[in-house]
């Protein structure tokens, strides 16, 4: 399904082969390029929305949408090459290491809560918002790429919206994690879980159980690391709270 790597990416792969295999984020110039592409994508997305809201001619909307897709596809190729070269399991083993993951029973769609918008929801309950997006800390090589929800181990973690489970992996800095692809093309990541209750390829609805919170991977205590990305790969995260706000979800501070 991947497109054939273009020549510059082949060169990039060769260059990246020299990096230590343990590196968890795209290094050096690649990180800078990825960050620029993430910003360019968010601007392109905002532009598409602006044109739609202004009832712009369909041709203009289409061109803006094509530009947005181009930016995202360039970033996708870049990060795929990086993570393939660095040995990231999300890229290298799309099936995840499910055999080693603490798997619970396969979850079923949540029953709708009366009076609640069933389309999007917070990823967990009874939390305290701790480390936010782009904060700096000793545990992160660069800036923090998600939003942390402090909850005790064993708290249900739910899909924020409808989508498909892209991958489940275990054993790296994110511990046991689930990555969901949503219909708008964004991905949400749920990390440090103690148990995983979904399987790769499974369709999930908003609020559907993905697993239980925990303290696996690189953590100092139990919490849910929630991240929003424009590709499946590390290096393409966007600020998660504004993204949730666009879906009408406002986690309490
Ligand atoms: Zn985190």
Give residue 86's pLDDT: 73
Q: What is the pLDDT of residues 64-123, one digit of tens each?
A: 999 999 999 999 999 988 887 776 545 434 444 444 688 899 998 877 666 666 789 999
Alpha helices in the chain (DSSP H): 7-16, 28-53, 58-86, 89-92, 240-246
- Count of C-beta atoms within a 10 Å radius of residue 27: 19
Cα 61 to ligand 1 centroid, rounded to whole Å: 36
Cβ proximity of 135 and 144 under 8 Å:
yes
Cα 162 to ligand 1 centroid, rounded to whole Å: 22
Dist. CA 124–CA 190, nearest whole Å = 10
Cβ proximity of 103 and 173 under 8 Å:
no
- Best CA proximity match to 222, nearest among 200, 195, 182: 195
Average pLDDT over residues 182-196: 95
Cα 92 to ligand 1 centroid, rounded to whole Å: 23
Cα 63 to ligand 1 centroid, rounded to whole Å: 36
Dist. CA 134–CA 144, nearest whole Å = 5
Cβ proximity of 187 and 180 under 8 Å:
yes
- Best CA proximity match to 207, nearest among 95, 122, 99, 91: 122
**Which residues pair with residue 156 across a beta bridge?**
212
CB within 5 A of ion ligand 1: which residues? 146, 148, 225
Cβ proximity of 202 and 165 under 8 Å:
yes
% pLDDT > 90, the chain: 60
Cα 223 to ligand 1 centroid, rounded to whole Å: 8
Rounded to two decimals, what is the model's pTM?
A: 0.83
Q: What is the pLDDT of residues 231-251, one digit of tens each?
A: 999 899 999 999 999 999 999
Dist. CA 201–CA 68, nearest whole Å = 26
**Which residues pair with residue 181 across a beta bridge?**
164, 187
Give residue 21's pLDDT: 34
Cα 214 to ligand 1 centroid, rounded to whole Å: 12
Give residue 83's pLDDT: 80
Q: What is the pLDDT of residues 77-91, one digit of tens each?
A: 999 888 877 765 454
Give residue 127's pLDDT: 94
Cα 2 to ligand 1 centroid, rounded to whole Å: 29
Cα 68 to ligand 1 centroid, rounded to whole Å: 27
**Which residues pair with residue 237 across a beta bridge?**
229
Cα 193 to ligand 1 centroid, rounded to whole Å: 12
Give residue 153's pLDDT: 96
Give residue 27's pLDDT: 67
């Amino acid at each position: 399904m991947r497109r054939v790597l273009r020549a510059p990416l082949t060169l990039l792969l060769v260059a990246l082969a020299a990096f230590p295999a343990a590196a968890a984020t795209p290094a050096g110039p690649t990180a800078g390029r990825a960050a620029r592409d993430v910003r360019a994508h968010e601007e392109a997305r905002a532009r598409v929305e602006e044109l739609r809201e202004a009832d712009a001619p369909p041709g203009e909307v289409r061109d803006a949408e094509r530009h947005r897709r181009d930016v995202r596809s360039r970033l996708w190729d870049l990060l795929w090459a990086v993570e393939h070269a660095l040995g990231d399991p999300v890229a290298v083993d799309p099936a995840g290491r499910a055999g080693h993951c603490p798997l619970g029973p396969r979850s079923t769609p949540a029953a709708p809560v009366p009076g609640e918008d069933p389309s999007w929801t917070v990823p967990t309950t009874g939390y305290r918002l701790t480390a936010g997006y782009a904060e700096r800390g000793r545990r992160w090589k660069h800036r923090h790429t998600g939003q942390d929800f402090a909850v005790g181990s064993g708290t249900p973690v739910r899909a924020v919206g409808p989508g498909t489970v892209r991958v489940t992996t275990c054993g790296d800095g994110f511990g046991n994690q689930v990555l969901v692809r949503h219909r708008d093309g964004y991905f949400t990541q749920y990390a440090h879980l103690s148990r995983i209750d979904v399987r790769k390829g499974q369709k999930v609805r908003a609020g559907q159980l993905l697993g239980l919170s925990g303290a696996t991977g690189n953590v100092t205590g139990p919490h849910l690391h929630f991240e929003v990305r424009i590709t499946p790969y590390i290096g393409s995260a966007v600020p998660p709270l504004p993204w949730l706000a666009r879906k009408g979800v406002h986690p309490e501070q």
